[in-house]
Structure 1
Amino acid sequence: MRIVGISVLCLFCAFSAIVFFTYYRRNSATFSYDIVLPTIFGNSTEFNTSEIKKKRRAFVVNVFASWCTVCMQEHQTWKEISKRTPIDLYGIDYIDIEDNTLAWLQEPDNPYIAIAADYSGKAAKAFGLREYLKLLFSTKKVNWCSI
């Protein structure tokens, strides 16, 4: 009886590992941080992560929305971080209304260098967004990391 139980457990573990690695391989093949989006704020007309990486500077991409109450609270923190550190801060406006976002960012000390518009949500999914708060950062030693 004990051998049957151990055999079933081993088969279950093997099956779970196969399912996990199949899912991981399929999703990691389409996963890409290199995206291009239109900008709603900033000097350039498009937000291109490949161009940002070429600058070889540390940066953070913050995915937010004007309707997100937590995003509004953390906005003050981003203001402080942008004043005190040399990190470049970029934003992606996630499934939002452009006028609401621009009104929200009209206040002094806007911390973002550029803000991209992701009204369909497809680019956020390319970043692996599963929840509304998402940070992506890059340094000279770490290519991409998400929080």
Structure 2
Amino acid sequence: MGKGFSTQELRILQSNFPKLLSDPYFKRTSKETPEYNCISWAMVRSDRWTQCPAGMKLPQFDGVTWWPPEAENGLDINCLIDAFEKTGHIICNDGVPEIGYRKVALYCDHNNHWTHAARLLSNGFWTSKLGAWIDIQHGDPYSIEGPAYGHVYCFMKYPML
């Protein structure tokens, strides 16, 4: 894969996501935007940058920053799980599509610091926002594991009423 990416972009992808370029379902699905990040994207919110601690401003981003009220602040993966729980998500066993639910995968590094969230699409593929860069589609949640995001820690689901 890699169609439509510059040589420099391909190098970045290869070094950060070594499995991604061999994913036959990998493709870019948006232009670059700093308006939201992976956490917002997984929560289906593209109108804000979701980060912790709440209100912390990152000067390179223009998006509105937000963290769920009452959610625990911190880098530990349990803080991210808490943030998703405060928005109605519950822990589940896997990332397999389930009627009536939207699923997400949460990622952490070897220190159990959260790094990323990806969302299962209705077509069975996964979607991720790569920081302030682009949105992508990938075939499964494991194809973006690697140096940048670490590994899938758990799956959560949100009831679609």
* TM bucket, shorter chain: under 0.3
TM-score between the two structures when normalised by the length of structure 1: 0.28
TM-score between the two structures when normalised by the length of structure 2: 0.26
Larger Rg: 1
